[in-house]
Amino acid sequence: MTYQLPTPAQPFKIGTRGSPLALWQAHEVRRSLMVALDLPTEAFEIVVIKVTGDQILDKALKDIGGKGLFTREIEDALLDGGIDIAVHSMKDMPTVQPAGLILDCYLPREDVRDGFVSPGAGGLMDLPQGAVVGSSSLRRRAQLAHRRPDLQLVEFRGNVQTRMKKLQDGVAAATFLAMAGLNRLGMAGVARPIAVTDMLPAVAQGAIGVERRLTDERAEEMLVAIHHGPTGHRLAAERAFLARLDGSCETPIAGLAVFDGDTIWLRGEVLRPDGSKVISGEVRGSIAQGADLGRSLAADLLDRAGPGFFG
């Protein structure tokens, strides 16, 4: 070991958003590091950082700046040295990190599926004609509009608890939440999982990433001890796919990479925001080629979509 381990007197600072799910994820990173490095709880400090995306809940993400709204303030704290690492839900992460930062540590991926949540309907096709469905995700909204164009889709932002309360208050008849988050919060029973063949998930859904300063060798060596290689390989393919498509919160995109023996199988789709058209495809190749496969699939979908597809 070539670095000084953190101590209660000089704790290793873990930055995170303040939602219950974000805090669970930060605590899981801390627990993993404690086990891997045989350190006490007091050797770590969890630092809650307020981000713009959690403070402005009455507007769509695309109207206030997109995915960076959930990461910018945390990354600023990381660059300034206020924290040592940052914990993120990978589906919220832009495909390019600010200069000086790197994402190269992932925990084992959770359930990638979306979950259907409704007080009165057992599934999407059980909803009555014209029912109101709430979602802040352009991907989910486009997928829903494609399958059920009769539904009324409304903006539905906030953490898991906030969205559940909106359902109870009758703001919408149903919503969709990531099964990974529900599992982590012990709330899986409120949702019905949707097969990925029916609703392809967001790129990197279910994965937790840990970001660090590029020059911080201590953090690098500590994080190697908890990095889950298989999740890293899957995300390399998915995030390369997303990056080639220039994915943002204004673009309905879905993608999922899974292992099939010693190969990786990547499925992806792009949708018109109104759900009127879906273009999908898949590729297979060696695990080491994941990023190349992602870029190849994206190029194919872009070519088939043609100019103006997202207009």
Q: Catalytic residue positions? A: 92
User: How many Cβ atoms sit within 10 Å of the Cβ of residue 129?
Assistant: 7
| C-alpha torsion 198→202→207→208, nearest 10 | -150
Whole-number Å distance between alpha carbons of 291 and 172: 39
- Length in residues, the chain: 311
CB atoms within 10 A of CB 28: 16
Q: What span, in angstroms and rounded, lies between the C-alpha atoms of 139 and 197?
A: 15
Q: Give the CA count within 13 Å in the CB-facing half-sphere of 140.
A: 25
Query: E strands within 61-149?
Result: 85-89, 101-106, 114-117, 132-134
- Residue in this structure with the two tokens 């994080």, named with its chain if needed: 223
DSSP per-residue codes, 199-257:
SPPPTTTT-EEEEEETT-HHHHHHHHTT--HHHHHHHHHHHHHHHHTT--TTS-EEEEE
Q: Residues 171-207, buried b or exposed e (16+ Cβ, 10 A)?
A: ebbbbbbbbbbbbbbebbebbbbbebeebbbbbbbbb
CB 67 within 8 A of CB 93: yes
What tokens does 126 get?
Answer: 């059980």
